[in-house]
Structure 1
Amino acid sequence: MTLSKWNTNHELSDLFNDLFGNASNEQMKQRKYECAPSTNIIEKNDGFELHMAVPGVEKKDVKINMEKNVLNITSEKEAEKEDEGTKYARREFVYGTFCRSFTLPDTIDTEKISADFKNGILKVNLPKKEEIKISKEISIS
């Protein structure tokens, strides 16, 4: 049996291939959002809070609307103008549009929904309707 010294150079080469891939700069330029922004939905006693991560997106580019019981959140981010002399080794910032839709339960008070945008996080407050008492005690006169 012949023993040979392990060569780690190919591992380093594979790492760089993984990092820089085979995609051309032109392909990377054309990339659009491949998935919707990450979202957390937190249930509280008085309602829900929706937190959506939208880094690099400005408040003015985010639109929220309600259609029946569906909450729609959309945004469009235009690609930044590129300097002619700029040559990217890798370009992963993505530009384009996204739309997330959430079907809200009937327990949400759609008239009181509010939103806040800070540091790339969109927070939507979805308060629950006040419970209507079904039973009522009636006094006898």
Structure 2
Amino acid sequence: MALVRNNGFYDVMPQSFSTMLDRFFNESVNTRNFSGFTPHVDACETEKGFELELALPGVKKEDVSIDFQEGKLTITGERKFEKKEEGKRYHMLETQYGSFTRTFYLPDNVNPEQIKANLANGVLHVTVPKDEQKVLKRQISITSDAEEETKPAAKKVAVASENGKEVKA
């Protein structure tokens, strides 16, 4: 068995110019699979909520669906290949076509009734506002066992309420 040095480009680089041309024309549009693509996403969090931007060039709003269920925001759609012009034979087609699904897991402090989406210039903008009632922040103080032992026992005073007035017993 002979050892062959691997330079990293052995499988990628064609052995000759003729081989490169053969590969170029053999990998035509007819052999491509348009089963799906993954749109690029920019996601950020603000004080008021979450913002998502999906790059969907050439996608119509009728071809996009947005669902929110159990903390998951799912965006599905399809980018259709509609370039069926007679007399053209594509040699290279790098644009992605097909159906897509993107799912985003959101915290439980969002308000699903206020989710808004807008598709403009090939970019889908989705805003998910936070629910202000669930966002309220509360500071919890921490005590140690030693602090509890050194505190003097407080006298217990019973407080009762009669018609909105406090009565101490």
Q: How does 1:3-14 map to 2 (within 5 A)?
A: none
User: Deviations for 1:44-90, whole angstroms, at most 9, x for unmatched residues?
Assistant: 11111111111111111111011211111000233215234321121
SS class of match (1:41):
strand
Cα RMSD for the two superposed structures: 3.0
Alignment partner, residue 40 of structure 2: 38
| 1:118 aligned residue | 120
For this pair of structures, how many residues does the alignment match?
124
Q: Runs of at least 4 residues of structure 1 off by over 3 A?
A: 131-135
Correspondence list, 1:17-28, <5 A:
20=24, 22-28=26-32
Deviations 1:109-132 (A, max 9, x none): 111111111001001111011034
One of 86, 93, 99 as aligned partner of 1:97: 99
Q: Are the counterparts in 2 of residues 61 and 77 from structure 1 also a CA contact under 8 Å?
A: yes
Contact 2:28 2:91 in 1 (8 A): no
Distance verdict in 2 for CA 1:101–1:21, change over 3 Å: farther
Percent of matched pairs sharing the same residue: 38
**AA in 2 matched with 1:102:** F
Instruction: State the TM-score, normalized to the length of structure 1.
Output: 0.72
Contact (CA 8 Å) 1:32, 1:94: kept in 2 or not? no
Gaps in structure 1 of 5+ consecutive residues? 1-12
Q: Decide whether the 8 Å contact of 1:116 with 1:123 is kept in 2.
A: yes
* TM, length-normalised to structure 2: 0.62
